[in-house]
Structure 1
C-alpha cells in the first residue's frame, strides 16, 4: 500500500470532514478507525436483546450545530430535517406543558407570562449568532479577539458576559420569571457539559445550543435515516473524493521520531507512515497515544484542568408503544420533540437542577434528576422497528464517574428503576410498556466509544473557540480535530476543517522549503 500524505486516527464526524477537505486539496488520505463503522458517537445501533430489530441512538442523540458556511464548503447534503416541534416540557398537571418550536424562541409562545423577556433574550442571542457566522468556521482565536473582530460594539459586553459568566446571570438580565422556563432553558443547554446553572462559563453552552436551534444551525435537526446516516453521507463523499478507509484497525501508538510525528503503530504491530498524522481522539487519549514525555508541561496542564468528576448517563429503552403524557395525552407532535423531564415541580425546578448537579459533583448518583428524552423512531419513522416497537433515549446530564461508597455495577438496577419512576410520574403506564432497557453510565460509554471518562463532548462547552485545543500540537506533523478543539464540541465538522487547513499549509511550506533547498 502506498504511503499516504496524511493518516487520520478516528472516523468521527470531525475526522471525516477533515479527510474530505484534505483529499479535495489533492492530498492522499487514509482514515483508521478501531470500530467496524465510522461515525464516532454519531451511531445508529441495535442494543436491545429483547427487541433486536429496534434501532436507536447509543451516543449523540442530537446532531449538533452545522454552520451554514461549513455545509457549503463540505459540498455534502446532510440528511437533516428541522425538528418541529422542537421542545416539549411536560408537567404532571393535565393541560400544563410547554410545547415550543421550531427554534428555541418558541418558548415565548409556550408561556406568555415571560413573552417580552424571552423575546428580548432570543433577539440578543440571534444577533450574537449572526455576528459569529464567520467566527464559527474561522481558525479559533481568543474570546477577546472574537469580541473585537466580529461582535457589534453594542453587544460586546453581553457576549463576554455570556461566554465567561453563568447561565443564571445571563437569564436574570432579562427578568425571566417562570421557574419551569428557566429550568427548561438550562436543562436544554447544559446536557453534555458537567456544569450547572451557576457554573462559570455555563452561559457559553446556551450560546452554542441557541446556534444549533436556529434555522441557520439546522433547527435542532432530525437525522433522517438515523444518526449513522450523517456519518455515512460524509464517509461516502470522502470515498468519492479518494479517501481510503481502514475500519476495525486499532492504533496503539503515534510514532514519534525526533520531535515529529511520522506515523502510527497498529494493534497488530504494523507501522504505517505519513507526512502528517491527525487524530480526532479526546485530549487524554491523544496524550496516551503519543506518550506524555512528548507533550509540553503547559499542554498537559491545560488538558488536565478539563478533567471533570462526572459526565452523562444514557438509558436506552424499548417500548411496546409510545408513552402517553398526563399533561397532553392526545397526539400533538410531542413525541417528535426533544422532551425535558424536570423534577421538583414548577416552583422548585431550578433548585432541583442544582441538587442533582451537587449530588453528581460529590460522587452521588442523583435520583431526582432532569432527563433529556428523545424518541428516535417517532421523529423519523424510516428507522422504526418492523415489529412496531418504539425506542427512547434518556440522557441524564450529571452523574459521577466513580460512585462514592459503591460501584456502578451495584447501582445500575436501582438507577434504571429511578429513571423509569421519573418517566412514569409524567407518563402513567410507561413502565408497563417497557420491553427492554440498556444503561450506559460513564464507564460503559468510555468502553463503548473509546472516549476518556465517557465524556462524549471531550471538553465541556463552557470553553469556546481559542479556550479549547488548537489544531496544532507541540509535535511537528501531529494535529488534532477532536471535539475538544475549537470552536465547540456542539459545532460539527469545523474542528476537522481547521486541522485540514493547518495540515495543507504546513505541507505546502515543507514542500516549498524542500524545492528551494532549505533544511532545518
Structure 2
C-alpha cells in the first residue's frame, strides 16, 4: 500500500524545516524532499579547503524570528549567536573611515568626524526607522489579506492595518517615503555627509539588483533593520558553527517530531489530480502521495519548472512571467593566511569583527549598478566582507582565517550571450583587487577561494537568477502581492498547493517567518486551531 502524507514539502531550507516543525506539532504526517545531500538550502556550512569551513551563501544572522527560536527550542540544542561589537566599518576613498554601531553615542561620535548635523539628527532617524520597523514586525508573522476573498479581505486588511492607523501623520509620511522613495532620496532628507549616507544606503542594495537611486530601494534598507540578536533590535551577529549549524539543529528538532527528511530527492513535477495537488514525482520516478504540497522554492522555480503549464491558467502564467527575480549577487569565501591590514586603520581591531563595507558613497553604488547593466558586472563592485573566524575559531586553523565576501552588482544574465562559466574567475579576481586596494597584501594572503556566481547560486541552491530573496523586494512584489495578488496568503493557484519560501511574505533573509505563516494557513485550512502557532 502506498504511504500517504498529510503534507510533502519541497526543499529542506530553513523555511521548509520551520513549516514542517509546526505542522508536525499540530499532528500532521510530514515528509520533506531535498534535492541536495544536505539540509539547509542556502543556509549551510561547508569545508571549502582542508581545515577551512564557512557559511556558503547566507552568511549572517539577525532576521530569524525570536518566536521560531523559542518554539523550536533552538538554544537548547546549541544555537548560539555572537553579536558584532560594531555593525559596519566603511573605509573611505580619502583615507578616512567610518564605524557604525556600538551604541548611539559611539556612532554619533563617528558621525561628527563627517558632520555635526548628521550626528545630531541620528536619534530622530533611528526613532523614525524603528517606529515603522516595529509596525512591520507586527505583520511579519501574519498571513497577508488575500485580495479577491471579498469581505474576508476587508476584515483581514482592517485588522492588520491597525498598527499603521495608530501612527502620527509624520510617521505615516515616513512609511510612504520608505515604501516608495529611492534610498538616496530618503537619506538625502536626513543627512548631508556622503559617508554617512553610504553607511545606511548599503542595506538598500543588499540582494537588490538596483541602484540606490531606484524608486523603492528605501524599503530594502528598512527590511534589513527588522531583526534582532539576543534580544537587541537591529543587531547582527555570527552563528557559531556557521549558518549550517542553525539548519542542522532545525532538522534534528523536526526529526524528533516525526518529520521524514529525504535527501538527494530532487522533485521533477508537482502532481495534480482533478485540479487538486496530489503529491510530487521525483526525478527518480518515485511518486509521493500527499494531501498538500508545500513549496519551499522560489515562485519562478515552482511555476516555471515544477508545475505543468496545463495545470495553470493562462492569466496566472502571464503574471508569473512578469515576476522579477535576480539579485545581482556574487558570493565568495576565501581562506586567509592572515587578517587583512587596512590602510585607513592598520592593525587588528574590532573592525575585523564587523561588516567591512567597501562602497564608500551612494555614487559608488550607483556606478556599480550601471556598470553591471552595461557590461554584466561592475569593475568596482560593492563588497561586504565578514571574517567570522575572528569570533569562531572552529572555522579555520589556528592563526588563519576565513572571510565571506558578499558582492553586488553582477547581472543575473550576462549580455552578448556570455556565460558566467567563462567569467566567474575574472569577476572573482576583480573582487580580490577591490579588497586589495583598501588592504594591500590581501591578495597574497588568499590560500584558497570558493566562488559562487549568480549562475552557480542557481545551479547549487535553486535560486533563479542567483536571487537570494527568491524574487525582488519591490513594492509590486510585497505583502499581499508576494508573489502575486490573489495568492499572497501562501496558497497557490491549485487547491492543496502552498508556498512557504522567501518568495512569499515577508520576503528574503533567514527569518523562518514564511515557514511559520504557511503552517498556520495550512492548519487553518485543515480545520485546526494551530495552538503551537
Q: Is the pair's TM-score, using the shorter chain for normalization, greater than 0.5?
A: yes
Is residue 202 from structure 1 mapped to residue 217 from structure 2 by the alignment?
A: yes
State the partner residue of 1:468. Answer: 482
Task: Give the Cα separation in 1 of the matches to 2:341 and 2:121.
Answer: 32
Task: Give the Cα separation in 2 of the matches to 1:231 and 1:28.
Answer: 20
State the partner residue of 1:446. Answer: 458
Residue 29 of structure 2 contacts residue 258 of structure 2 at CA under 8 Å; is this kept in 1? yes
Residue 338 of structure 2 contacts residue 400 of structure 2 at CA under 8 Å; is this kept in 1? yes
Provide Cα deviations, 1:308-357, integer angstroms capped at 9, x if missing partner. Answer: 56621112221111111111112221111111012xxx5xx221211111
Unmatched runs of 5 consecutive residues or more in structure 2: 148-156, 529-533
Question: Cα gap change, 1:477/1:102 in structure 2, threshold over 3 Å: closer, same or farther?
Answer: farther
State the partner residue of 1:486. Answer: 505
1:502: Cα distance to partner? Answer: 1.6
1:246: Cα distance to partner? Answer: 0.8
Task: Give the Cα separation in 1 of the matches to 2:105 and 2:139.
Answer: 23
Task: Give the Cα separation in 1 of the matches to 2:459 and 2:94.
Answer: 40
Residue 413 of structure 2 contacts residue 465 of structure 2 at CA under 8 Å; is this kept in 1? no
Question: Cα gap change, 1:427/1:459 in structure 2, threshold over 3 Å: closer, same or farther?
Answer: same
1:146: Cα distance to partner? Answer: 8.1
Give 1:127's match in structure 2, choosing from 124, 131, 137: 131
Provide Cα deviations, 1:54-101, integer angstroms capped at 9, x if missing partner. Answer: 01121111234123344344443342232222211123555x212222
> Where do residues 312-323 of structure 1 align in structure 2 (5 Å cutoff)?
312-323=329-340
Residue 204 of structure 2 contacts residue 219 of structure 2 at CA under 8 Å; is this kept in 1? no
Give 1:246's match in structure 2, choosing from 262, 266, 287: 262
Question: Cα gap change, 1:340/1:488 in structure 2, threshold over 3 Å: closer, same or farther?
Answer: same
Task: Give the Cα separation in 2 of the matches to 1:482 and 1:192.
Answer: 16
State the partner residue of 1:430. Answer: 442
> Where do residues 299-378 of structure 1 align in structure 2 (5 Å cutoff)?
299-308=316-325, 311-342=328-359, 349-378=361-390
Task: Give the Cα separation in 2 of the matches to 1:466 and 1:109.
Answer: 41
1:130: Cα distance to partner? Answer: 2.2
Give 2:235's match in structure 1, choosing from 216, 219, 233: 219
State the partner residue of 1:295. Answer: 312
1:216: Cα distance to partner? Answer: 4.8
- Secondary structure of 1:31's partner? strand
Task: Give the Cα separation in 1 of the matches to 2:413 and 2:436.
Answer: 28
> Which range moved further: 8-17 or 160-169?
160-169
Question: Cα gap change, 1:64/1:397 in structure 2, threshold over 3 Å: closer, same or farther?
Answer: farther
Provide the TM-score with structure 2 as the length reference.
0.88
> Which range moved further: 310-319 or 75-84?
75-84
State the partner residue of 1:9. Answer: 10
Residue 208 of structure 1 contacts residue 490 of structure 1 at CA under 8 Å; is this kept in 2? no
- Secondary structure of 2:385's partner? strand
State the partner residue of 1:394. Answer: 405
Residue 319 of structure 1 contacts residue 435 of structure 1 at CA under 8 Å; is this kept in 2? yes
Residue 86 of structure 2 contacts residue 102 of structure 2 at CA under 8 Å; is this kept in 1? yes
Is residue 477 from structure 1 mapped to residue 490 from structure 2 by the alignment?
A: no
Task: Give the Cα separation in 2 of the matches to 1:69 and 1:423.
Answer: 38
Give 1:59's match in structure 2, choosing from 57, 60, 68: 57
State the partner residue of 1:420. Answer: 432
- Secondary structure of 2:364's partner? helix
In the alignment of these two chains, the number of paired residues is 499
Question: Cα gap change, 1:450/1:340 in structure 2, threshold over 3 Å: closer, same or farther?
Answer: same
Question: Cα gap change, 1:493/1:87 in structure 2, threshold over 3 Å: closer, same or farther?
Answer: same
Task: Give the Cα separation in 2 of the matches to 1:426 and 1:295.
Answer: 52
Provide the TM-score with structure 1 as the length reference.
0.90
1:167: Cα distance to partner? Answer: 1.3
Provide Cα deviations, 1:32-70, integer angstroms capped at 9, x if missing partner. Answer: 1011111100011122xxx32201121111234123344
